[in-house]
Structure 1
Amino acid sequence: MRHSQKGASFFGWLAVIALLVFGMVIAMKLVPIYMDHYSLRNIITTVNEDPNVKVNSLRDLNSYIEKGMQLNSIRDIKAKDAITTTQSGQNAYTVVLKYEVRAPLLNTVDLLVHFDETFIVRPLK
């Protein structure tokens, strides 16, 4: 009578655990990058939604974004390199958010995350 093995072998479990650990390491590198990006997006889009934010010029908008980045502790992204603001009407601004973040994964392997978004900002009055 032959008995077949039931369940996973030691090497099967070892492979599953190695894959889980690798996935967790990648997640630990990527989650802070995406959290900073979503905080920066929130700073920019808040200008459209919050009537308490007073933006009357490009200088005001840039100042508001830089202060928001300081308050949210976004230090890995430089506002002057990542954000381009232009006036696109009497009371409208175009904000282009374009940057990349490189996070080291292994000795010679890096994770590269690229962001490229455009926002039309119309401050409430």
Structure 2
Amino acid sequence: MKRNQKGITLLSFLFVLALVGFFGFLFMRLFPVYSEYYSAVNDIKAVTQASGADKQALPQLKDSLYRRFQISYVDSVNLDKHIKLRTEKEGKKVLDLNYEVRKPLMYNLDFVAKFERSFPVTGRAEAE
């Protein structure tokens, strides 16, 4: 009598294990870069939506961002190079974030993550 076997072979198991390990390795390399980006985005949103932010000049906004970046451990964003303040036609201020991160992946391979985002400086007043 021939019995049917169920399951995967050792070779298939090793292949699946290698595939899971590779994607786990990629996740461990990419996660810190994206985590830092989302921290920077949250800090910039908090500064641009703070009360009176629309009346502040760029140096005051950068000072507030510098303090928040220090607390959030945002090291890849250079405030002088990567943050620009522009005024749109309607007189509204917009803060632009534009930077890229280049980190080693494995051996002689690097990965590049490029981030671009604009934030309107609303300076909405706090509720009384």
Match of 1:97 in 2: 97
Query: Is the alpha carbon distance of 1:53 and 1:72 closer, same or farther for their aligned partners in structure 2, counting shifts above 3 Å?
Result: farther
What is the DSSP-based 3-state SS (H/G/I as helix, E as strand, rest coil) of the residue aligned with 2:96?
Answer: strand
Match of 1:28 in 2: 28
In the alignment of these two chains, the number of paired residues is 125
What is the DSSP-based 3-state SS (H/G/I as helix, E as strand, rest coil) of the residue aligned with 1:6?
Answer: coil
Distance 2:59 2:88 in 1: 14
Distance 1:115 1:20 in 2: 27
Match of 2:114 in 1: 114
Query: Is the alpha carbon distance of 1:88 and 1:68 closer, same or farther for their aligned partners in structure 2, counting shifts above 3 Å?
Result: farther
Aligned positions of 1:1-125 closer than 5 A: 1-51=1-51, 56-88=56-88, 92-125=92-125
- For the 8 Å contact 1:47–1:122, the answer to whether it is kept is no
Counterpart code for 1:93: K
Query: Is the alpha carbon distance of 1:103 and 1:34 closer, same or farther for their aligned partners in structure 2, counting shifts above 3 Å?
Result: same
- For the 8 Å contact 2:49–2:121, the answer to whether it is kept is no
- For the 8 Å contact 1:91–1:123, the answer to whether it is kept is no
Distance 1:56 1:91 in 2: 14
Structure 2 gap ranges (5+): none
Q: TM-score, normalised by structure 1?
A: 0.84
Q: TM-score, normalised by structure 2?
A: 0.82
What is the DSSP-based 3-state SS (H/G/I as helix, E as strand, rest coil) of the residue aligned with 1:64?
Answer: helix
Query: Is the alpha carbon distance of 1:67 and 1:114 closer, same or farther for their aligned partners in structure 2, counting shifts above 3 Å?
Result: same
